[in-house]
Structures are given as C-alpha cells and as structure tokens.
Structure 1
Amino acid sequence: MNTLEELFPSKPTFSGTWQTLYLEPIVGSGERISVAVVAIGKNNQYRILQAIRSELLECLYGAQSRNMQSLIDWLIESASKEIKANRSLSEWTAPFDGIKVGKLYPAAGDDIEGILKQAIRFTASLSTLALDADRDDHDFQPKRYSEQWATSIFDEIKTINPHLSNCFKKRLKISESNVLTTFGFLKDTYVSNFGLLVPTRLSTSLSNVKAKLFDLEALKKSPSLVKPLKYEIIIGTPSLSDPTLTDKSAKNLRETIDMVTEVAASESIDLFRAENAREAAMHIIEIAA
C-alpha cells in the first residue's frame, strides 16, 4: 500500500481562493484583459500580482504603455488596501471605471505562489502565451529595455545618494582608436555595466548582456595605466519563482543566468542579479559609497 501511495502526488497543504481583475481599456467596448490576479490564503496571507508583463504592455500600447502601467499600479494598490482592511474584494469599489472583479475560485497548492500560478494559467493567456511565443532573433526591443533598466537604477541612486549621480554613463577610450566606450557606472576602483534578461525576448537580450560583458573585458585588458580593480555586470531579471513565468520560461531564464555567470567568471568579472532597480542601486551604493 505504501508503494502505491508513493505513485501519487501528496495532498496540497495550502488552501485559499483566487480571482482576476479585468480592465476594459475602452470603457463600454466589452473588450477586457486580465491585468492582475489576487490570491488570499490562510493565516492572513494575500498577494496581488500583475498578470500582464511590462514588456508586453509596451508592445501592445507603445507610447501609452506608461499610462497603462500607472493605471495597473493604482488598481493593485487600491485592491491591496481593501484586502488588508477587509480580507475580501466583495465590497471593493475600483478607483476608476472599466474594472471588473472576476469570480472567486477555491484553490489549493504548496503555497500562495502556487495559487497565483493557477490564476495566471486559467485567466491570463497574454502572460503565458507571450512568454512561450517564438520570436524573430532580429527583435531589437531588449536594447530599449536595457536602457530603461539603466535609467531606473540611475533614478534610484539619484534619490538615495545624489553624490554618485555623476558616476553614471562614463565614457572612456579603451583602445588605440578614438572611439569612446560608455560604461554604466564608474568610480575609482569599481566599474559596472547594466544588462537586462527579458523572458519574452531571452535570445536578443542575452546578446545585449554579452556586449556589456565584452566592454568590461576590453577595459580590463586595455593598456590604460589607471583601471578599476573590481569589474561587475549587474543583471536585472524577474524572480525565478514569479508566478507569471511558465515552467519552461523559468528554466530557460535560470539556465541563461548560469551561463552568463560562467562567462563573466572566466574573465574575473562579478555578476550581481537584481529583481528591481532599487535592489541594484543599493548594491552599487554599498560598494562605491
């Protein structure tokens, strides 16, 4: 009997509910997209997660993507306050029109992230399909994402420690040519470049990361008499346990991080992985301040 029982998965230990928040971009049109999922579990646990990735928002809405992101952030903040106060969205009024709260579903899983993954899987096709879709290798979007990542880090440091602001985007001559190479951050004995691994565009974002590594390697091997002692690549990625990542995309991301880490280590370049710009900024300040 024990052998037979081992053939079946164990019973989930975490129970709760989930529901989806839908946004009608054009109020009254009837068109709705899943923008957030809500999971509420035992022991007063709850979590609200954006169900549509920011890079997909940019593809869908272009110049208006920031406005859409602001609306989603506002929505999630309002829903979070309601759940914290009343443990439910049953009496909640959305902060703006065009929002529909989906049906409440009971669920079970290993933890609250497991319940969120169920909500994503069943109601947010734009999230999962975007991650697993095949793309043209000549997609240059990741370069812009990487630039936005660097700008976000700069904005965080400018707020926390403005004295380091002038250390960003330093340009150096690292070869006999007159071409100047730009580095993300440079101060005294420390230099770092910023890269971003975008799950929906992993191949092309990896190429951009490799280019940032090459610039660090070139500086390290340059004939310059005054060079940093510490070289680092700061990589932005989502959490590997992010419920919006499918098992396939999480595996691909993990393998890519491992590969970049190995390549960087072969040239004695450190790698720091950050899940948001503030985390990256605090790391830089700890080293350079």
Structure 2
Amino acid sequence: MAMTADSRMFPPVPDIQAKWAPLYIEPMHGSGERIVVATAAVDSGGSFYVHATLSQRVLQCMYGDRAEVLDGLIDLALDVLQTYLATGGSLENWMPPFRSCHLGTCRTAMGSSLEHVARSGAVLTSSLTAKLADYSLEQGQESVGPGLDVDRWVQQIRERVCVQSPHLDARFNGEILVRPGASPTKIGYLGGNIAANFDMLIPGSNLSNRRFRSKSRLLDLQILKDQVDNLLPRTSYELLLWIPERDSPGFSPRQLDAAHGALSELQAFADDHSLMVRPYHRAEEAAQRILTAELS
C-alpha cells in the first residue's frame, strides 16, 4: 500500500524571499583588494535590512590610525544605501557614492526575516563578520546579557506609560504602509503628537551594527514624516535611545567613548532630517517623555 508523506515531517517554508548583495570597500583604492563591510536584503515590496559586518575593534586591529577614516567611508556608504532603499530604489540599480565602494552580485534567498537573509549573506561572504554568534539571534531580538535587551527596554517603557495612561497601550507597535504592495513598516509608538522608535546603543564589539540599526529606525521615522504624515504631521519624531552613563562600571572608558561618539553621530543625522534622538539611562525617563508629549 502506498504511503503518503506527512507534511509535519518537513520543516516549514521560510516566510521571506528577498534579493541580497554584499557591499565591498577597497581600503586602498585601485589595489583590487576588497572587504565586505555590509550585506543588504530587499524584498519584493521594497522593505529592506542592511547588516554591517565589521566592528570598530576589527577595523582598529587591521588598519590602526587609518581605521577612523575607513569607518567614516563605511558610514557614508551605508547612509547613502539606506536612504536610497528607503525611497524605493532597487538594490541592483544602486550607484555607490565613491569609486572604492562596490556592490556585489545580487542573489535571491529565503529566510525567516530580512535580517535573517542579510545575516546569512554575511556568513557566506564575509570572513571578518563582527560577531557570527549574533547570527543565532531571533528576528527583532538582541539579548546581550542581564538587563540589556531591546525588547525588555521597550516593554519597561510601555508598562510605565500604561500605568499612568492605559489608553495609550494601543499606540505601541504601530505599523504604516509606505508604498502599495510593500510590507508594513513598524514604528515603536504611533501617538497623536509623537511618533517614536526605540533602540539601545550598547558599547562593545557590535556597536557598529547597533549604530546602523538605530539609523535605520531614524529612516523609518523620516519616511513616516515625509511620505505618510506630510499633510498632517505630528509634533515630533524621535528615537528614544538607551545608552549607559559616562561613568558606568560595566564598560571600559574606550567603549563608553565609542558609544557616546556614535550617539553624537546619530543626533547630527537626526538634526539634518528634522528628527530627534533622545538618550536615556532609565525606562522611567523615556516613558515620561511619551506621556509629556501625548498629554500636554
């Protein structure tokens, strides 16, 4: 008698199909030597994720005094790429901003999320990936030790807001549709007066990825402001960012300097786009900012 296969014997088909490509930079222009500095994944609806592959520690180890210059070039390339993708540009048609920057071959892959596809591409193309152990993280989750977890940070803010104003609970985890056919863009808090995203700028070897992720969340706010709320804008569009205090005993002085330097970069980027980055050390402070904006 013929046997029929039970579908439960097979793993589920991944949810996302996307194009992805590595981004290369030549540390010495014209040498032909290229290193992967990021991977980008874009789905059919135009949603994207850009994953930085190099940590500041690796750059410093490899290039010494030139590391700061190279880090600036990487930052520029990723800013231009993310801004281009945010406007609906196709990955394969992107033009790099300078001659020593190159986009690799576009390929198609499947995964549980765009982040998963981009990280998979990093594993395949980059021998200098900042922290391959991060590859096992779940979508949207970054656990970096007791008390340092993005989802926990957001939940703490949400709980403190809802203690005082329970009706604001429904405004967390909002979604907007930027373009027809695109996947919804998630916004941490969509209020009547304020739209906010949340992130953590945690010092350490993966700081570059966290900095670029924070910029991506600022770009989401810019898209909301310029393309969705252009007729009836909210009062403020803000990234509420956890960062340790300058004298935090949990990190070295060099790590703290790097994190606060990244904060300054994010604030300058936000200023250029009429956005705001607010650094906080405690969830109570971030929650109070939302309450003040919404209830004033």
- The alignment's TM-score, normalised by the length of structure 2, stands at 0.49
Which of structures 1 and 2 has the bigger CA Rg?
A: 1
- The alignment's TM-score, normalised by the length of structure 1, stands at 0.50
